[in-house]
DNA sequence: AGCTTGCTTTGACTAAGATCAATAATATAT
DNA sequence: ATATATTATTGATCTTAGTCAAAGCAAGCT
């Protein structure tokens, strides 16, 4: 939309904070951002991580007056900032757009539901495996790759392991050990690079019952 | 809306199942329903519980073609069943309605986010306390009560403790023990009745660190 | 009443992950 | 290049909630 303005954020910079007036929303041009919530005990729950092409906080400008979570850039990033008021106007005049918006929110909710499933009792190694498989899928999508192939693949963690751990609802130490457990499944982790021998086998492992 | 038809469900009856074609949604006239998801390991995650006046599965009829979760009546209940197609038509012709719908979904998402926060690491006693405080709040709302007062209060669990446990992401045994821990905070549980001496103190406990 | 059935509570035990503490590796700065 | 800070790994221990098993209660039934 023509009214948006691009804005630069540096690593660690706050984009908005829980409770702020929700009068804008965002699309990521490049970089990564996290949506999170600080809990009373000092911990942080990472609700979602976003990257280039994805939008977030669209939901907040409707209904609520304030953001229900905080957001922060986890890398140097460029975001498009949209005015909520102007967007609302457009929505009122365009039923088609409203429907698309509803569909996108519905997808977002499905995502949240999936996330809830993950955070629950499932063992840490499996949670990590799911996460890695997700990253593989992204890469394959981008490369327009055949969905059926099963090359060894090299992926890079989009942000440091502390954040990966938070995203998966575990401690950094536990993440380390989860990587350890995945070694026997052909997952090698070196720095921010992860080498996966058989994405398919890993995907199978995610579904395993104990 | 005039096109809806009321339908009777008995306790334990399936309303719809994960993967079913999402061509309708529901409003509860009376009784209780739960929205849940069966996980690969046989456990069940309860995403939400609904009662009279609340609607659910509205999100599903947009975007996705199938329900992302299952629903079941937890008491004998009467639901209004709406046709998704007809509702979509109405939406297209009515921007106002679309906005309301967006707002309601946005609220629902906020709820899910809160739920995620709860399911996480927080100790079981605190999760239960939050739940009870929520029930108190409902009652006070209905009674148009002063928000600041702090009477001892008697509440009734809306469904059996097995389901409460599931709703809170814990085992029935653990729920019992959680109730035990809350005794020293003036919470007495007898059957489906719960007597809370000081809702305020209980609310404070929810936020406590450790 | 006495019996059955299903929910709830209690107890003993186990296991997964958190925490604490120390070391190693990486990145940043001087 | 060396020093310093940050992040990652490893080990030992502890806590919490899950599991298994048994007993206590309550409601409904014959």
Find the closest chain A residue to B62 by CA distance: A103
- The pLDDT confidence band at residue B144, using thresholds 50, 70 and 90, is low
> pTM for this structure?
0.77
pLDDT at B27: 92
Give the full edge-to-edge strand order of the sheet including B70-73.
B14-16, B70-73, B32-38, B44-51
Mean model confidence pLDDT for chain B: 84
pLDDT at A118: 66
Query: Measured between beta carbons, which residues in chain A are less than 8 angstroms from residue B113?
Result: 37, 47, 68-69, 112
Angle between helices A84-93 and B95-119 (to 10 degrees): 130
Average pLDDT rounded to a whole number, residues B116-135: 83
Find the CB nearest B59 among A91, A109, A116.
A109
pLDDT at A8 > cutoff 60:
yes
pLDDT at A146: 59
Measured CA to CA in angstroms, residue A143 lies from A130, A147, A197 at distances of: 20, 10, 18
pLDDT at A80 > cutoff 90:
yes
Q: Is the CB of A162 under 7 A from strand D?
A: yes
Measured CA to CA in angstroms, residue A81 lies from A20, A58, A84, A86, A154 at distances of: 15, 11, 9, 12, 33
pLDDT at B93: 82
Q: How do B5-9 and B55-56 pair as beta strands?
A: unpaired
pLDDT at B210 > cutoff 60:
no
Inter-chain residue contact A102 with B98, CB threshold 8 Å? yes
Query: Measured between beta carbons, which residues in chain A are less than 8 angstroms from residue B105?
Result: 59, 102, 105-106, 109
Name the range with the highest mean pLDDT among A119-123, B26-30, B162-166, B172-176: B172-176
Find the CB nearest A109 among B94, B109, B121.
B109
Find the closest chain B residue to A63 by CA distance: B103
Inter-chain residue contact A64 with B119, CB threshold 8 Å? no
Give tens-digit pLDDT for B52-79: 888 888 877 777 789 988 999 888 889 9
Average pLDDT rounded to a whole number, residues A44-67: 81
pLDDT at A151: 82
Give the full edge-to-edge strand order of the sheet including A153-156.
A153-156, A193-196, A187-190
Q: Which residue has the higher pLDDT, A95 or B124?
A: B124
pLDDT at A120 > cutoff 70:
no
Query: Measured between beta carbons, which residues in chain A are less than 8 angstroms from residue B104?
Result: 63
Q: Is the CB of A179 under 7 A from strand D?
A: yes
Give tens-digit pLDDT for B173-192: 999 999 999 999 999 998 88
Give the SS3 label for residue A157: coil
Lowest model confidence (mean pLDDT) among A23-27, B39-43, B120-124, B181-185:
B39-43
Find the closest chain A residue to B101 by CA distance: A102
Q: Is the CB of B123 under 7 A from strand D?
A: yes
Inter-chain residue contact A113 with B112, CB threshold 8 Å? yes
Q: How many Cβ atoms from other residues are within 10 Å of residue A186's Cβ?
A: 14
Inter-chain residue contact B113 with A207, CB threshold 8 Å? no
Give tens-digit pLDDT for B38-54: 876 667 888 888 888 88
User: Closest approach of chain A CAs to the CA of B94, in angstroms?
Assistant: 7
- The pLDDT confidence band at residue B165, using thresholds 50, 70 and 90, is very high
- The pLDDT confidence band at residue B162, using thresholds 50, 70 and 90, is very high
- Please report the number of interchain residue pairs, chain A to chain B, with beta-carbon separation below 8 angstroms: 137
Residue A95 structure tokens: 């039923």
| Closest by CA position to A26, among listed A87, A74, A76 | A87
Helices within chain B (DSSP H only): 84-93, 95-119, 124-142, 161-167, 172-182, 199-207
Average pLDDT rounded to a whole number, residues B164-168: 90
pLDDT at B147: 56
Q: Which residue has the higher pLDDT, B145 or A75?
A: A75
Average pLDDT rounded to a whole number, residues B3-20: 89
- The pLDDT confidence band at residue A93, using thresholds 50, 70 and 90, is confident
pLDDT at A89: 84
pLDDT at A179 > cutoff 90:
yes
User: Closest approach of chain A CAs to the CA of B24, in angstroms?
Assistant: 15
User: Closest approach of chain A CAs to the CA of B131, in angstroms?
Assistant: 17
| Closest by CA position to A51, among listed A33, A73, A70 | A33
pLDDT at A81: 93
Give tens-digit pLDDT for A37-46: 887 666 777 8
Inter-chain residue contact A102 with B108, CB threshold 8 Å? no
Measured CA to CA, the distance from residue B186 to residue B181 in angstroms comes to: 10
| Sequence-ordered list of residues with C-beta below 8 angstroms from that of A173, at least 6 positions apart, any chain | none
Measured CA to CA, the distance from residue B181 to residue B20 in angstroms comes to: 41
pLDDT at A15 > cutoff 80:
yes
Q: How many Cβ atoms from other residues are within 10 Å of residue A13's Cβ?
A: 14
Cα dihedral: B116, B122, B123, B128 (round 10): -50
pLDDT at A37: 83
Is B206 within 8 Å of B170 (Cβ atoms)? no
Inter-chain residue contact A99 with B88, CB threshold 8 Å? yes
- The pLDDT confidence band at residue B195, using thresholds 50, 70 and 90, is very high
Average pLDDT rounded to a whole number, residues A113-139: 81
Inter-chain residue contact B208 with A59, CB threshold 8 Å? no
Find the CB nearest A108 among B41, B88, B109.
B109
Measured CA to CA, the distance from residue A36 to residue A162 in angstroms comes to: 14
Give tens-digit pLDDT for A127-157: 999 999 988 877 666 665 555 667 889 998 8
Q: Which nucleotides of D are covered by protein (CB under 7 A)?
A: 7-12, 16-21, 26-27
Measured CA to CA in angstroms, residue A137 lies from A75, A78, A84, A145, A153 at distances of: 22, 24, 32, 10, 11
Find the closest chain A residue to B100 by CA distance: A63
Name the range with the highest mean pLDDT among A45-49, A165-169, A181-185, B89-93: A181-185
Average pLDDT rounded to a whole number, residues A152-174: 90
């Amino acid at each position: 939309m023509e009214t948006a303005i691009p804005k630069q954020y540096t690593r660690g910079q706050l984009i908005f904070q829980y409770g702020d007036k929700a009068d804008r929303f965002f699309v990521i041009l490049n970089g990564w951002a996290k949506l999170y919530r600080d809990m009373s005990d000092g911990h942080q729950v990472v609700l979602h991580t976003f990257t280039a092409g994805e939008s977030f906080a669209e939901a907040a400008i409707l209904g609520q007056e304030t953001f229900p979570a905080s957001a922060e850039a986890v890398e140097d990033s460029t975001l498009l900032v949209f005015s909520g008021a102007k967007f609302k106007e457009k929505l009122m005049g365009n039923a088609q757009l409203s429907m698309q918006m509803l569909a996108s929110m519905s997808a977002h909710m499905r995502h949240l539901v999936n996330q809830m499933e993950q955070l629950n009792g499932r063992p840490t190694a499996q949670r990590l495996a799911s996460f890695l498989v997700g990253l593989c899928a992204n890469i394959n999508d981008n490369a327009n790759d055949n969905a059926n192939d099963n090359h060894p693949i090299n992926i890079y963690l989009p942000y440091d392991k502390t954040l990966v751990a938070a995203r998966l609802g575990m401690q950094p130490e536990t993440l380390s050990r989860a990587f350890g457990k995945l070694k026997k499944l052909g997952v090698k982790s070196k720095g921010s690079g992860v080498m996966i021998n058989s994405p398919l086998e890993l995907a199978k492992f995610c579904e395993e019952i104990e």
